[in-house]
Structure 1
Amino acid sequence: MFISTGDDVPSFKGFTLIMPAVSVGNVGQLAADLIISTLNMPRVGYFHTDCLIPMAGNNPYATSTEDASQLSTNADVCSHSDLKLVVLQIRAPIIQTRVKSFRKLLVSWMKSCGFLRTVLLSSSHAYQRDDQQLFGTSVRYLLTPSLHKVEGKRVEDLGWREMERISVFPDISDSEQRLYIPGGGITKALYTDCCAEDISMAVVLIFCSEGDNIPDAFTLINTVNDWLHLLEKPTQGSVQWRVPPSWSLLFGCGIPPLLF
């Protein structure tokens, strides 16, 4: 259930929704952080749901002591009206027994808001790639049929590679092909739901391993930016994304000197 932080519920009709999947390396969440921090997107609401592990904290994008005490939750919604952009940042794992309910909640919200398109940022285990997935870029995409009609040609012109289907029985060449996204959380199931509900959604994912996934987040968000043009890319160099202050504690505090 979406709860607005203001008196009126904002209208997102015609907006683009970007959200992460809770997946390997938390790459989608890191990429969403970069968008919110760089565009200085204000928090306009949050999800009140029993599907996520409860969590609350200080403002992860604070730029001064005045806004550091603002509350952040496990599912914050930020918006940029000029760009017609909404980012749903998910900061907590989905409770195992509530995964299906959470997917239904997301699909219902997407349909009620009338988003122009949804972009799901995700990741998948690099060590479980099929042979054909070892070549070329580590980024892959999926488009639902309704979005493919509109953006299919444009995405192909960017040189993106579609997520390959792999054989159910690898040793049998003519066996059934299936979509396999290990470590992707709800990515595959939510994509299937959106296909069935005729929702325009794109999945943009990266093959990665657990560890320092900051470079993966930059790769993922730069790929999405080539498509959506959230920030203009300079003639020389790359887009300067602003790292949020909360990333300074991404790997915890340093080693206490008193230990030595």
Structure 2
Amino acid sequence: MFKVGYFYTDCLVPMVGNNPYATTEDSAAELSINAEVYSLPSRKLVVLQLRSIFIKYKSKPFCEKLLSWVKSSNCARVIVLSSSHSYHCNDLQLCSCPFRYLLTPSMPKNVQNKIKSLNWKEMEKSQCIPGIEDSEFCVRIPGGGITKVLYKESSSREIPMMVLLKFVSEGDNIPDALSLVEYLNEWLQIIKPSVNDSTLSALPWKIPSSWKLLFGSGLPPALF
């Protein structure tokens, strides 16, 4: 995908760094900031990449500004890739597929039918106040950041949105990221599976060069 612009906002902690997707020394010198927009015209796909945390009390204004931009841009649909703390899972969730989805009411019927044909699991409702027996049931996404706010606001604004998330634990989440995007690819077919190789277990995603430094450099040989 190609960088096409920035999403300017005062809701995120400012940050600047080198290009995390650099493939050459020249491209490594490009600067990246906290919210950037990438595009893949051949798939009519636009991606907003967030790289910073929210300033206190600024997450909801950010969601409002983002959805206003979505509405004015006439996006056909919005997909939010997210996660939720696995230690909040109930017994049923622990023993089933770790992926869940949510659809806003305005999502087109053909998309709803397609998702049902994939046999994906919809996010279950749980007690709004855990541990209180007479508490009402609602959608909870603990550890999901702004995911629930985006979902609720999109529902009220009649924005067609899907939330696709995975139950995850703290640690090395690279396998989670790859499995989530492969799960999404079952629907969108961004990369089409090879018909000639039935043994292909993983699609040829390009791993960002910055992931090499996710846990820092290796142990210095001088230690030994």
1:57 aligns with 2:21: no
2:33 match: 73
2:207 match: 243
1:45-104: CA deviation from partner (whole Å, max 9, x where unpaired) = 001211001111111111111211111111010001111000100000111221111011
- For residue 171 of structure 1, report the CA deviation from its aligned partner: 6.9
2:222 match: 258
1:4 match: none
Q: Taking CA–CA contacts closer than 8 Å with sequence separation of 6 or more, which of the two structures ends up with the larger relative contact order?
A: 1
- For residue 130 of structure 1, report the CA deviation from its aligned partner: 2.0
Percent identical among aligned pairs is: 49
- Secondary structure at the aligned position of 2:49 is classed as strand
- For residue 150 of structure 1, report the CA deviation from its aligned partner: 3.4
- Secondary structure at the aligned position of 1:206 is classed as strand
For 1:71, give the aligned amino acid. L
1:189-213: CA deviation from partner (whole Å, max 9, x where unpaired) = 1100000000010000000001011
- Secondary structure at the aligned position of 2:39 is classed as strand
- For residue 166 of structure 1, report the CA deviation from its aligned partner: 1.1
TM-score, with length taken from structure 1: 0.80
1:11-30 matches, within 5 Å, as none
For 1:48, give the aligned amino acid. Y
1:181 match: 141
1:57-206 matches, within 5 Å, as 57-147=17-107, 149-168=109-128, 172=133, 176-206=136-166
For 1:135, give the aligned amino acid. C
1:19 match: none
For 1:127, give the aligned amino acid. Y
| CA–CA distance in structure 2, aligned partners of residues 206 and 96 of structure 1 | 25
Query: Is the contact between residue 56 and residue 72 of structure 1 (CA under 8 Å) also seen in structure 2?
Result: yes
What's the RMSD between the two structures over aligned residues?
A: 1.5
Deviates more, 1:200-209 or 1:90-99: 90-99
1:33 match: none
| CA–CA distance in structure 1, aligned partners of residues 131 and 13 of structure 2 | 37
| CA–CA distance in structure 1, aligned partners of residues 4 and 185 of structure 2 | 23
- For residue 131 of structure 1, report the CA deviation from its aligned partner: 2.5
1:209 match: 169
For 1:162, give the aligned amino acid. E
- Secondary structure at the aligned position of 1:147 is classed as coil
- For residue 170 of structure 1, report the CA deviation from its aligned partner: 5.5
1:23-49: CA deviation from partner (whole Å, max 9, x where unpaired) = xxxxxxxxxxxxxxxxxx110000121
- Secondary structure at the aligned position of 1:146 is classed as coil
- For residue 176 of structure 1, report the CA deviation from its aligned partner: 2.4
1:32 match: none
> Gaps (5+ residues) in structure 1?
1-40
| CA–CA distance in structure 1, aligned partners of residues 45 and 8 of structure 2 | 21
TM-score, with length taken from structure 2: 0.93
| CA–CA distance in structure 2, aligned partners of residues 125 and 148 of structure 1 | 29
For 2:161, give the aligned amino acid. M
- Secondary structure at the aligned position of 2:60 is classed as helix
| CA–CA distance in structure 2, aligned partners of residues 83 and 48 of structure 1 | 25
For 2:219, give the aligned amino acid. I
